[in-house]
């Protein structure tokens, strides 16, 4: 199963995760999170999202989402 996520939905997923969990995710993780959210009714069992990118790699996306990165490695 696959799902397409646009830029606006990616930013909204980043904002949602930050607001709900006080945790800033990178755009790739946001795409996965949004896709899982959208297809969750069609998925059986649990879902794990493995995130390997750090948000610091995407300063423009973070800026466009009106979020700030406090801890830059």
Question: Can you tell me which residue has the tokens 């904002």?
Answer: 15
| Contact between residue 25 and residue 17 where contact means Cβ atoms under 8 Å apart | yes
Residue 2: what pLDDT?
A: 80
pLDDT given at position 60: 93
pLDDT value of residue 33: 94
Placement of tokens 């059986």 in the chain: 44
Counting as low any pLDDT under 50, the low residues of the chain are none
Burial of 73 (C-beta count, 10 Å sphere; 0-12/13-18/19+): exposed
* Region class of 32: left (phi > 0), else alpha (psi between -120 and 50), else beta: alpha
Contact between 20 and 51 under an 8 Å Cβ cutoff? The reply is no
């Amino acid at each position: 199963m696959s799902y397409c996520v646009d830029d606006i939905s990616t930013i909204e997923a980043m904002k949602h995760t930050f607001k709900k969990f006080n945790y800033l995710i990178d755009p790739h993780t946001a795409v996965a999170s949004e896709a899982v959210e959208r297809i969750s009714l069609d998925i059986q069992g649990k879902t794990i999202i493995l995130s390997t990118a750090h948000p610091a790699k995407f300063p423009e996306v973070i800026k466009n989402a009106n979020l700030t990165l406090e801890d830059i490695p």
